[in-house]
Chain A
Amino acid sequence: MAEPVLNIRNLSVNYFTPRGTVQALRCINLQVPPAKVVGLVGESGCGKSTLISAVIRLMAENARVAAGEIRFLGQDMHRLSSRDLQNIRGKDMSMVFQDPMTALNPVFTVGRQMKDIQYRDAVSRKEKLKRASDMLSLVGIPDAVSRLDNYPHHFSGGMRQRITIAMALLVQPKLLIADEPTTALDATLEVQIIRLLKELQTGFQCAILFISHHLNVIAELCDFVGVMYAGELVEKGSVRDIFHRPGHPYTRALLECDPSVIAEPTRFLPTIPGEIPSLIDLPAGCIFHDRCPRAAQVCKNTPPPEVSLAEHHTAACHCLEV
């Protein structure tokens, strides 16, 4: 693999709360290669959003990086001064947020906001607005030039998400982080946005770190996938490895739960019994053992090793069927 755009090594993040230290991320290793789409999938509370906030260094005040490092284009993100960070965010790294309704500033026109984010470039106002309208037509907003004068509330949800994607790509980032960009949208819009992201990614050749709890979207968009559970990256691999040859019992269970893969209509759907363990008092051994159908004695006592299943495909489990 080429030198990764983003290289996360042994990252652990803790939250300090009155009830104790929440070990939200533990020993995460993840690489985002240039011009590839890496998907992170996992259920609520698995640490997806904590990971992103650590990457762009917008962590909550009570969060600390306990160990490890995040290297973006070779620089350690957590050693940069705030000025250096300013020069990275919104230039080499940009982000699309989950909720298109609140991501745009309601009191400025879309054109104004799209012009303002190009403040680094020494070109005329006219040129900036031209770029903005070109980008809007690229993301499929009809009548882009006149719509620059509209305020965010003039646009529907799907349109707003297109605008936030246009803004994120306007700066031609090396890495785009997309945090559940389709969760707030209807299915017909979801596929439109996915297709758009895929097209733009191919055109711009930027890397994307894509977060979702929706497996099918990940399958359609991503090249590599990481599966997270309770603060750990339990399995990672190419999209085909994960969906066709899942190794970790959690990944398998998650794939089986999806009602769209069950061909025959059934009243009773598969579930994963149990709950995510407390991240304050971590269980010994494997984090998934109390919900795992294959759990053996060793799983209760010893943390699982990271087992390589194929090139770039690893899973952290004692009981893999190899």
Chain B
Amino acid sequence: MAPLLEVDHLRVRFKTKSAVKALIEKDDDPYIDGVMGVSFAIEPGQTYGLVGESGSGKTTVARAIMGLLPVHSGAIRFHGENLVGLSRDRIKPFRRDIALMFQDPAGSLSPRLKIRSILAEPFRIHDMMPENLSVEVARLLKMVNLSPSMGDLYPHQLSGGQARRVGVARALALSPKLIIADEPTAGLDVSVQGEILNLMAQLQNDMGLSFLIITHNLAVVRHVSDHVAIMYLGRFLEQGPTQTVFHRMRHPYTQALLSAHASPDPDAVHHRISISGEIPGLVSRPRGCEFHTRCPGVQEKCRRQFPDKAGAGKDHRYFCHYPLSVPEN
């Protein structure tokens, strides 16, 4: 099957100083790399999980796909058509097919609009006003298991879970094919988190939607996504089918991230792969392999040279000079 979305060596750079300042300081490269050449593909009806710590560039990837950030190089193909470099007018039809659920559910809803108007906005922007708007709004609310009377409320009258549902409804408004969900469960209680994820799974079953889910919650990704990429400082250090990455990981960072989860068993014995410190800033990107400053198995070569891409079986890719051995089973 042809992939729905194909991202090919995507690179996003941010300017760190003005052109004049760069000239004065004789800095011929006044940029930092937010995303350093990531490639992945999402099949129709599938869910791709993007995992990483804060500052790893997950949201930047999402914004680049949405055309909200200038792309430095690489391609973003949707249904085979490259979206990079398209003009505003040309890209607009694609925007209908790709919807974004923003990170902060309450903050992404305008406090001055009623839910009804918030849900009408996508139609207005794309000149696709349905004949009977209130029927359409009621239909959207029903899809996310909210009562149609909620259309008359303001965002501050909703609970966190309800606001999140409105975010889902708004993303669904123009019947997209791909929904990018940025931290769909952050800040929600565990009991509500399940409701939102179940709703998304239900919609995926019913409508054949594809999802790109961005999260730092590995427990969630393990259940909901078919493929997963582990991101660190703008690179996919490891990517592949979820089961493979979780059970036959080759990159030490993946292993460390997986072992960093507290267990609900007070008697659990933790085999923690301790990684010390925090993710370095993009401005001070380490030389060689970016993870070497925290890697438990760091060697001389890691400090000098970024590893080449290595593959291990179908779709499973990683970047490491000294990959972990695969557990026997």
Contact = CB atoms under 8 A, between A and B. Distances in A.
**A and B associate:** yes
B189 A265 contact: no
A191 interface: yes
Given A257-B191, A271-B194, A271-B195, A266 B223 contact: yes
The 10 A-B residue pairs with the shortest CB-CB distance, nearest first, are A216-B262, A269-B194, A260-B219, A272-B191, A271-B194, A43-B189, A259-B219, A186-B53, A257-B190, A267-B201
B13 interface: no
Contacts of A257: 190-191, 193-194
B282 interface: no
Contacts of A272: 191
Interface in A163-213: 186-192, 194, 213
A123 interface: no
Contacts of B220: 259
A275 B159 CA distance: 10
Q: How large is the interface on B (under 10, 10 to 19, 20 to 34, 35 or more residues)?
A: 35 or more
B267 A240 contact: yes
User: Which of the listed residues A186, A189, A244 has the most CB atoms from chain B within 10 Å of its own CB?
Assistant: A186
Contact of A159 (B192, B261, B265, B278): B278
Contacts of B53: 186-188
Contacts of A157: 54, 278
Given A253-B191, A265-B243, A259 B222 contact: yes
A270 B257 contact: no
B223 A259 contact: yes
A213 B161 CA distance: 16
Interface of B: 53-54, 159-160, 189-195, 197-198, 201, 216-220, 222-224, 242-243, 256-257, 260-268, 272, 275-276, 278-279
Q: How large is the interface on A (under 10, 10 to 19, 20 to 34, 35 or more residues)?
A: 35 or more
A217 interface: yes
Contacts of A261: 264
A44 interface: yes
A191 B189 contact: no
Interface string A243-266: 110000000011101111110011
A4 interface: no
A87 interface: no
B266 A243 contact: yes
Interface in A262-300: 262, 265-272, 275
Contacts of A253: 191
A265 B247 CA distance: 12
B260 A220 contact: no
B10 to A, nearest CB: 23
A267 B201 CA distance: 6
User: Which of the listed residues B224, B262, B268 has the most CB atoms from chain A within 10 Å of its own CB?
Assistant: B262
B262 A188 contact: no
A303 interface: no
A188 B198 contact: no
B261 A216 contact: yes
Given A265-B243, A269-B197, A272-B191, A194 B260 contact: no
Contacts of B268: 219-220
B223 A262 contact: yes
B261 A187 contact: yes
A186 B216 contact: yes
Contacts of B256: 188
A254 B257 contact: no
A214 interface: yes
B198 A268 contact: yes
A265 B54 CA distance: 25
A239 interface: yes
A204 B267 CA distance: 23
Contact of A240 (B159, B243, B266, B279): B266
A255 B264 contact: yes
Contacts of A194: 262
B218 A254 contact: no
A215 interface: yes
A105 interface: no
Nearest to B280: A156
Given A188-B53, A267-B224, A220 B194 contact: no
A199 to B, nearest CB: 13
Contact of A188 (B223, B264, B266, B275): B275
20 contacts: A43-B190, A43-B192, A187-B261, A188-B53, A190-B260, A220-B266, A222-B266, A244-B267, A257-B191, A260-B219, A262-B223, A265-B223, A265-B242, A267-B201, A267-B224, A269-B194, A269-B223, A271-B192, A271-B198, A272-B191
B197 to A, nearest CB: 6
Contact of A258 (B192, B242, B264): B264
B216 A44 contact: no
B161 to A, nearest CB: 8
A190 B192 CA distance: 22
User: Which of the listed residues A44, A187, A188, A260 has the most CB atoms from chain B within 10 Å of its own CB?
Assistant: A188
A68 interface: no
A269 B276 CA distance: 33
A290 to B, nearest CB: 14
A270 B193 CA distance: 10
Contacts of B217: 259
Interface string A211-241: 0011111011010000000000000000110
